[in-house]
Chain A
Amino acid sequence: MIMKRMLVMFLMVMLVAGSLFAIGCEPDEEVVEDPLDPVDEEPVDEEPPAEVDPGWVFATDHEYSIRDDGYPGLQELYGFEFADVVTMDLGITYGALRDGDVPVAMGFATDGRIAAYELVNLVDDKQFHPVYNCSPVVREETLEMYPEIADILNPIAAALDADTMSSLNMQVDIEEYLPVEVAEEWLMAEGFIGDDPADMGDGEPVVVGSKEFTEQLTLGQIAILALEYNGIPTVDETGLGGTVVVREAQERGDVDLYWEYTGTALITHLGYDEAITDPEECYALVAEEDLERYGLVWLDYTPFDNTYTIMMRQADADELGITTISDLAEAIMSGVPAP
């Protein structure tokens, strides 16, 4: 009796579940006319052309998957489309690519794992991604007090190219050194600091801040070590928080110096809608506006550009002869099977 009732109930559950499914799977017959302009209408995972190998799956974080300056714009500019897009946490796209879960993934260009996992950044030959070169940003008052800061940090910024920054990041992320150890070792090797520090002045100390991820922590330590070697006292406020937190602290005068990215300042702090893909142009605009509006001085920017990157495994890229995103787009659209 009881068993029979339970069976009936079970069937009912299945029925309800089934109808839910049916609703879920039913094709939309009554899609109301979409009032949007065609550019915005383009869905992320539209049915791909028949010849695309279904193995071409793209791993991305959620933000990149949807932003205009992310995947939707990328596929439009390069004229290609992946068979499927899997969204996941940003930190695990590198591992997913290494483990062969996907053939292509997005990441950030200077992440240490790219080298450690034997991945390769594809060249953004149509310069789609906005630029994120990095500069020490100093408050005007601070620079007036210590004008030599520019002379100390400009050559250091110039020495930070993409390979260098990747390598420094890797030493922290993969080899588990402390950011301060990595910073000190590199400054020594490059000759920016040595065994002969200048006498510490007794002026107002410079408060050095940073955001809370690896690259920022390392850059913060580099600034602190270099300034102190040259006799400028500092206060370590690195790892303060997210972009907005550190920036607001600097606008209030609680932080005197931190490393900021040109692209971030353009969009987030100065409120521009359109990203700029030329490094010099972007830097010039940001430097001028920030000085004018907020009294912040942008020192020289680094050659490394920590922008979005499209990555493949080095071995696959070599085998398929892919070095640029255009190569990748062509391979996908011409039906080359995914590695």
Chain B
Amino acid sequence: MLQNLYKLVLVPLFLVIVGVVIVIYTVNNPTDGLVARMLTYDNVIRALREHLMLMLVSMIGAITVGVLVGIMLSRPSLYYLGRGVENVVNVGQTIPSLAILALFFTWLGLGFRVAVFALFLYSILPILRNTFAGITSVDDSIIESAKGMGLNQFRILTRIELPLAFPIIIAGIRTAIVINVGAATLATFIGGGGFGDLIVTGLSVRRDMVIVTGAGLAALTAIILDYVIGQIEIRVVKWT
């Protein structure tokens, strides 16, 4: 129990503290006036808030839709459609995230919502693909023995297929997070805010401290999220 507390709460808390220390240090020790103007608590917190909103809203949406659609496509009646969609998804994944963002900008205009929507669509891909792959990779003999014992389709899905596909789905979610944290910093180009504001502004006036602060906080956010999801996986998947 103590170990659980340590791993689930203290490690992320430590990372959060590292982030807070970085912020306090850089805000109080700016290298020049330009840096001081950019690195204020207001600006950093605004970037953090926007960044978390970008990531969380798009990830929660992507997980919900990706898993549901993945499940639907894995039903035997839609299996071939699923294979087709899988290929489309694989192709979609190769489009650079900046291009996705640019595409949605030309269709939908700019701002936070468009950025969230683009991130959401982009993050769905690995989750959907892994959900589909995870469910369809469950051994036929296991499904048949469940069916033979009298489990109906829904029970087979919830008791057998989803739990067995869980590690693969989680892997998809982690991939999506990694993609998401990178892509979220690009939202600034279409006025979506987030840590990208700090990074790109820092780049445009060549102030390393601002770039490092923005990039460091974005990376920390990704590490924390990935760590927590990894812990969930370890805790849920006990059978291997």
Q: Does A88 contact B189, Cβ atoms closer than 8 Å?
A: yes
Verify if A280 is at the interface (C-beta below 8 Å from B): no
Q: A43-B43, A87-B197, A89-B190 are in contact. Are A36 and B16 (CB under 8 A)?
A: no
Closest chain-B Cβ to A275's Cβ sits at a distance in Å of: 14
Q: Does B36 contact A23, Cβ atoms closer than 8 Å?
A: no
Per-position 1/0 for B39-56, Cβ under 8 A of A = 011110110110010001
A10 to B56, CA, bound (A): 13
Nearest opposing residue in chain B for A64, CB measure: B204
Nearest opposing residue in chain A for B198, CB measure: A62
Q: Does B36 contact A63, Cβ atoms closer than 8 Å?
A: no
Closest chain-B Cβ to A104's Cβ sits at a distance in Å of: 13
Chain B contacts for A92, CB-based, 8 A: 105, 110, 189-191
Q: What range describes how many residues of B lie at the interface?
A: 35 or more
Q: Does A88 contact B110, Cβ atoms closer than 8 Å?
A: yes
Chain A contacts for B232, CB-based, 8 A: 6, 9-10, 12-13
Q: A32-B28, A88-B188, A88-B190 are in contact. Are A5 and B235 (CB under 8 A)?
A: yes
Per-position 1/0 for A1-44, Cβ under 8 A of B = 01101100110110011011101110010011011110111111
A96 to B189, CA, bound (A): 12
Closest chain-B Cβ to A194's Cβ sits at a distance in Å of: 42
Q: Is the interface of A mostly helix, strand, loop or mixed?
A: helix
Verify if B78 is at the interface (C-beta below 8 Å from A): no
Q: A5-B236, A12-B8 are in contact. Are A39 and B34 (CB under 8 A)?
A: no
Q: A17-B56, A92-B190 are in contact. Are A24 and B45 (CB under 8 A)?
A: yes
Verify if A179 is at the interface (C-beta below 8 Å from B): no
Verify if B158 is at the interface (C-beta below 8 Å from A): yes
Chain B contacts for A23, CB-based, 8 A: 16, 20
A59 to B48, CA, bound (A): 20
Q: A2-B163, A36-B30, A72-B37 are in contact. Are A21 and B201 (CB under 8 A)?
A: no
| 8 pairs of residues in contact across A and B, judged by CB atoms under 8 Å | A3-B158, A20-B52, A20-B224, A36-B30, A61-B204, A62-B201, A86-B110, A101-B109
Taking Cβ atoms with an 8 Å cutoff, the residues of B that contact A are 8-9, 12, 16, 20, 24, 28, 30, 33-34, 36-38, 40-43, 45-46, 48-49, 52, 56, 105, 109-111, 158, 163, 166, 188-191, 193, 197, 200-201, 203-205, 221, 224, 228-229, 232, 235-236
Taking Cβ atoms with an 8 Å cutoff, the residues of A that contact B are 2-3, 5-6, 9-10, 12-13, 16-17, 19-21, 23-25, 28, 31-32, 34-37, 39-46, 59, 61-63, 65-68, 72, 86-89, 92, 95-96, 99, 101
